[in-house]
């Protein structure tokens, strides 16, 4: 089998005004969709966070992969490694490295292609499914009113349930509880993560306590301030939340600070910010910076790298969970296939998908039942891309005026002069 074509399509998907440590989500989230077509006409799909730097890296790579055999992933890795430029994760909540994302997009699309060629789901190619249903967690955000997109997504006063909650502001503990109830009622999630780092720590602690009150002791709760708290703030908040959190995600910045907080608390610390690459693992072991690593095939470099990370976690006693960023159904399918084939993934995975639900590019979007996605039976990723919807989301990209994610500039539109601070409270 040979790669005949690689198509790269930037898309923009309506995204609500969600708040985080770096500012505010823009009306559109950017994604890059990669289609790899084999000489015999089979198409494999991949999806990664968007932006012109990742797109340039992908395009540069794509032309060198034409003619390669998609089964020869080690050869493809070597081609990518030879092209890769040094890049850095950056201080933002999300990972800005272009090259690991490129590697992931290509590998995922190759797996989809191979799975379709041999008529087996990707999970089978990764060693076989150890679970048929992959559980996800509700992902709450403090937010302003609005459901994303510039045209046609104004307030709909007739909306109810999750559709209304997605539009409603959530700026205090009561708003967060209302959002959680609507999201859990709609999708059946069995655990909850709150994106923190947006307001004074006491508001976020109060929101977690309000969630505990509203959902009782059987609902696991997580809080993620995206590393914007000082060590003393994080320890004080962690003590207030003792016995309440399933895990405490990136309260502070860097492995050394995480290790200090970890030693002061009984609650396990988790990260998708201080240990995000294989080069970070020796430091993680030396410092004991976290108890749980949130894997993410987009920034660990694909499925095989994620399984290697899983093996590390099993050997060195780390728990393993899964991180997400705003995403569409190709990424959701890839996360589901990988999670299904990862024996020691022992927490419900993150997903932003409810914030994008209704705007997907799949012919038949994946659906959450009781908070979980059933592993699709169809080969490859188990999904079909609707080319018309893809073209519509591409048109939105061409007209949205965004070329990179920039939550700080978006925040400045409503709070002139607002600046991102790596450590704020």
Binding site for ligand GKR (CB under 6 A): 18, 20, 93-94, 195, 224, 226, 272, 323, 325-326
Site for Mg ion (CB under 5 A): which residue of 95, 107, 224, 246? 224
Determine if 204 is a binding residue for Mg ion (CB under 5 A): no
Measured from the CB of residue 148, what is the shortest distance to ligand GKR in angstroms? Answer: 12
Determine if 20 is a binding residue for Mg ion (CB under 5 A): no
- Cβ proximity to ligand GKR: between 116 and 193 the closer is 193
Measured from the CB of residue 183, what is the shortest distance to ligand GKR in angstroms? Answer: 15
SS (H, E, C) the chain: CCEEEEEEEEEEEECCCEEECCEECCCEEEEEEEEEEECCCCEEEEEEECCHHHHHHHHHHHHHHCCCCCCCHHHHHHHHHHHCCCCCCCCCCCCCCHHHHHHHHHHHHHHHHHHHHHCCEHHHHCCCCCCCEEEECEEEECECCCCCCCCCCCCCCCCCHHHHHHHCCECCHHHHHHHHHHHHHHHCCCCEEEECCCCCHHHHHHHHHHHHHHHCCCCCEEEECCCCCCHHHHHHHHHHCCCCCCEEECCCCCHHHHHHHHHHCCCCEEECCCCCCHHHHHHHHHHCCCCEEEECHHHHCCHHHHHHHHHHHHHHCCEEEECCCCCCHHHHHHHHHHHHCCCCCCCCECCCHHHHCCCCCECCCCCEECCEEECCCCCECCCCECHHHHHHHHHHHHHHCCCCCCHHHHHHHHCCCCCCCCCCC
- Cβ proximity to ligand GKR: between 96 and 336 the closer is 96
Measured from the CB of residue 312, what is the shortest distance to Mg ion in angstroms? Answer: 19
Residues marked as catalytic: 195, 323
- Cβ proximity to ligand GKR: between 21 and 34 the closer is 21
- Cβ proximity to Mg ion: between 96 and 272 the closer is 272
- Cβ proximity to ligand GKR: between 135 and 251 the closer is 251
Q: x/- string (CB under 5 A) for Mg ion, residues 252-291?
A: --------------------x-------------------
Q: Which does 195 bind (CB under 5 to 8 A by kind): ligand GKR, Mg ion, none?
A: ligand GKR
For binding to Mg ion (CB under 5 A), which residues are involved? 224, 249, 272
């Amino acid at each position: 089998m040979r790669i005949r074509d690689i198509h790269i399509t930037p898309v923009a998907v309506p995204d609500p005004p969600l708040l985080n440590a770096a500012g505010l989500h823009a009306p559109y989230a950017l994604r890059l969709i990669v289609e790899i077509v084999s000489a015999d006409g089979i198409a494999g799909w991949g999806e990664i966070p968007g932006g012109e730097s990742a797109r340039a890296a992908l395009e540069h790579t794509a032309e060198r992969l034409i003619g390669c055999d998609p089964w020869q992933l080690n050869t493809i890795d070597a081609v990518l490694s030879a092209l890769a430029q040094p890049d850095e994760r950056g201080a933002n909540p999300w990972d800005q490295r272009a090259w690991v994302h490129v590697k992931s997009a290509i590998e995922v699309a190759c797996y989809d292609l191979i799975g379709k060629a041999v008529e087996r789901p990707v999970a089978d190619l990764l060693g076989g499914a150890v679970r048929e249903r992959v559980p996800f967690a509700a992902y709450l955000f403090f937010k302003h009113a609005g459901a994303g997109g510039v045209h046609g997504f104004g307030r709909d006063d007739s909306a109810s349930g999750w559709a209304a909650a997605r539009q409603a502001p959530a700026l205090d503990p009561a708003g967060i509880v209302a959002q959680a109830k609507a999201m859990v009622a709609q999708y059946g999630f069995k655990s909850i993560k709150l994106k923190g780092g947006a307001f004074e720590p006491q508001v976020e602690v109060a929101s977690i306590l309000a969630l505990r009150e509203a959902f009782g002791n059987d609902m696991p709760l997580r809080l993620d301030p995206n590393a914007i708290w000082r060590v003393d703030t994080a320890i004080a908040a962690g003590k207030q939340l003792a016995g309440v959190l399933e895990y405490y995600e990136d309260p502070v910045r860097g492995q050394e600070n995480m290790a200090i907080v970890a030693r002061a608390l009984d609650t396990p610390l988790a990260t998708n910010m201080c240990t995000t690459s294989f080069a970070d693992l020796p430091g993680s072991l030396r410092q004991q910076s976290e108890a749980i690593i949130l894997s993410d095939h987009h920034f660990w470099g694909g499925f095989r790298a994620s399984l290697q990370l899983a093996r590390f976690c099993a050997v060195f006693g780390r728990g393993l969970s899964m991180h997400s960023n705003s995403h569409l159904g190709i990424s959701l399918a890839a996360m589901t296939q990988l999670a299904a084939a990862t024996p020691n993934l022992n927490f419900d995975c993150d997903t932003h998908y409810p914030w994008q639900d209704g705007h997907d590019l799949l012919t038949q979007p994946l659906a959450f039942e009781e908070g979980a996605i059933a592993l699709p039976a169809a080969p490859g990723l188990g999904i079909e891309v609707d080319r018309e919807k893809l073209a519509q989301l591409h048109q939105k990209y061409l007209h949205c005026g965004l070329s990179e994610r920039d939550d700080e500039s978006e925040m400045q539109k409503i709070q002139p002069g607002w600046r991102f601070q790596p450590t704020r409270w």
